[in-house]
Amino acid sequence: MWYQAEFHGFPPQKMPTRANPPGTQNWTSSEQYLTWDVSVVKGGEYGVSILYQTRKGGAGTEFEVPVGQSKVVGITRETGNAWRKPGWELQPLSGNLKLPAGHNRITLRIVKKSETTTEIMQLRALELIRSPVRTRMESRARNSRAKTDWMVAAKYGIMFHWTVDTQPRRGPQKPYCEAVQAFDVNRFASMVEETGAGYVVFTTSHGRFFFPGPIGRIEKLMPGRTCPRDLPSDLADALARRGTKLILYSGWSTGDDEFAKAFGYRDPEKIDTFNRNISAVLTEIGKRYGRKMAGLFFDGGFETYLYPYNFSFERVTAAARAGNPERVISYNHWIFPKITNFQDYWIGESGGRLAPAPEAGTFQNGGVQDGMQAHLNPFLDDPWVHKTPDKDIREPLHSTEELVDYVRRCVETKTVPSINLGIYQDGTVSDASLQQMRAVRKAIRGQ
């Protein structure tokens, strides 16, 4: 169950945006505090974690969370990691809260403010969970995980945001399903082979929710949003003939009002409807493609519209593995840390930056992404989607030497990069970007 905090002593809070996700703003005084009125169904000892971010120099503020005769305490640290500072972290606090069944008022207040910062922290969430429940949930997640050894063996993959908004190199854009019908999968797969990529991440929806194949459940919920040709199946076959695996990207479109209405998305009161609808769609997709689909890469405002409101990661991940229990799953948490164990690899979206390999310990021994496969996701040229009419895909953002060195460092640390290339509506890419990827293939594969 989720509860909205009550702000005490804070100025009016601005509406959250993608660039400025929900979280406390202008927390600058130890006189300010937060409270939550929480209804506890089952009393007991509850572990406490905070999802928060501090600015540079923000370490050292002491705070406490008291309830009745019990409390937990914590000290802020300078949050972030090697590829994103500042950054959000999910920090467990020491001890447990003893909560009786029924109504409880929970408070988070400052005990002693650090002298090295103006803003105390940006708080996104306070999490409470009974210890036995957490233990059982983490055990179920570990036991359900798919192996990612094949991703490490693949060394690197490439990604394509081929969407309803993708433009041709020149001239008018074809209607989406006409473009799906015309897509030359053999030419595309041959181009992929030139890059040396061990797998492809191919977008099925982004920005607006469409699907390049005949998925009945989507068509029932959103008539006209599917296509007669089964492009993912044809793509998987063409890639498999060349020894390349297929991961499908599904963006749960934050700006698509029709999708939100049809699926129950972006509405905290309809989260059960969204869990049910998206699970039904993913079950159909999973069973349809079976072993042809090696993975699913989910994107869609988890930090804003789903994580705080009882989105069922466990249920949806199980649905996403329908037809292939070995299918690798990930949720793009963007700038946030891992917020569920029901996934297999970390996205590590880095935009146009060739982010460094993760710090040692990040993905094991209790690090912030503990138990997940290290993965990074930069774009090489266009920022994800080529959606400007009558314009070439822009030139690569980095030199060939920089790109080769980046992939080599990733391979050395067993960090798997999925590099996004701009793509035209006919399925072709920039000659300059392809030339760079040929150089990567030669450097990494030796051929």
Half-sphere exposure of 214 (CA within 13 A, CB side): 5
Whether residue 32 is predicted with pLDDT greater than 60 in this model: the reply is: yes
Residue span of the structural domain in which 98 resides: 6-129
CATH classification of the domain holding 72: 2.60.120.260
Number of domains in the chain: 2
pLDDT digit string (tens) for 339-375? 899 999 999 898 999 987 777 677 877 777 888 999 9
Put the strands of the sheet holding 199-205 in their side by side order: 328-331, 293-299, 245-251, 199-205, 157-160, 416-420, 375-378, 349-351
DSSP 306: I
In a domain, 136, yes or no: no
Do 406 and 299 share a structural domain? yes
Q: Which of 73, 100, 129 is the last residue of a domain?
A: 129
Do 112 and 43 share a structural domain? yes
In a domain, 135, yes or no: no
pLDDT digit string (tens) for 131-177? 899 899 999 999 999 999 999 999 999 999 999 999 999 999 999 99
In a domain, 1, yes or no: no
- Share the mean pLDDT of the chain: 92
Instruction: Count the Cβ atoms, other than its own, within 10 Å of residue 20.
Output: 11
Do 332 and 214 share a structural domain? yes
Q: What is the mean pLDDT of residues 40-66?
A: 92
What is the predicted pLDDT for the residue at 242?
97
Query: pTM for this one?
Result: 0.93
**Tokens, residue 180:** 């799906």
Whole-number Cα distances in Å, 152 to 156, 260, 324: 8, 36, 19
Q: Which of 100, 129, 158 is the last residue of a domain?
A: 129
Do 160 and 181 share a structural domain? yes
Whether residue 315 is predicted with pLDDT greater than 60 in this model: the reply is: yes
CATH classification of the domain holding 154: 3.20.20.80
Instruction: Count the Cβ atoms, other than its own, within 10 Å of residue 287.
Output: 12
Do 236 and 147 share a structural domain? yes
Do 433 and 367 share a structural domain? yes
Do 183 and 91 share a structural domain? no
